[in-house]
Structure 1
Amino acid sequence: MKETKFSDLTTEELIKNQKTLKTVNAIFCVVLFVLFVLNIFIVFMKGFSAMNIIPVALLFILYLNLKNLKEIKRELESRK
């Protein structure tokens, strides 16, 4: 996977990426919350299974998105 350097992007591209990441993170947080709630429900109804680990594994994606968002914000602030 090709990693983009935020310093190589224009300010407009950074702002566009920032808005996109904010939207994606908001939707992803809602989906993860629903998965955790359903996961707890399923654990009480049917017991633990290997599928119950999926929401925990997806937290890493959220962490990466938040890290990228922080880097974009830092790059935008350095350009002011």
Structure 2
Amino acid sequence: MASKKPNEMSNEELLKNEKTLKLVITMGIVAAVLMLAAGIWLTIAKQKFSALTAVPMSMGVIVIVNANSLKTIQKEKKSRGLL
């Protein structure tokens, strides 16, 4: 499924996507922090490196991409006067 650009979306789709992206970003940050904490704890407890500490770094990229999409949607909302 190809996603539409924000300028091609209806007002309802724009608002729905903004709400969804906010939830996805929040959940991604929470999951990354929990995995980072678990990875650090496992590294200290077992006295050897745990691969779990590297996963939150890759999740950070996904969060950044979603945050940029959210910014684009918010700019489009502002240009349409949907504040």
What TM-score results when the alignment is normalised by the length of structure 2? 0.85
- Structure 1 ranges of 4+ moved more than 6 A: none
- Specify every segment of 5 or more residues in structure 1 that has no aligned partner in the other structure, as ranges: none
Which structure has more relative contact order (CA 8 Å, sep 6+)? It is 1
Cα deviations across residues 13-39 of structure 1 (Å, max 9, x unaligned)? 000000011111111111111011101
What TM-score results when the alignment is normalised by the length of structure 1? 0.88
Q: Which residue of 2 aligns with 1:53?
A: 54
1:33 is matched by which residue type in structure 2?
V
Q: Percent identity?
A: 34
- Specify every segment of 5 or more residues in structure 2 that has no aligned partner in the other structure, as ranges: none
How many residues are aligned here? 80
1:64 is matched by which residue type in structure 2?
V
Task: Calculate the aligned-residue CA RMSD, in Å.
Answer: 1.5
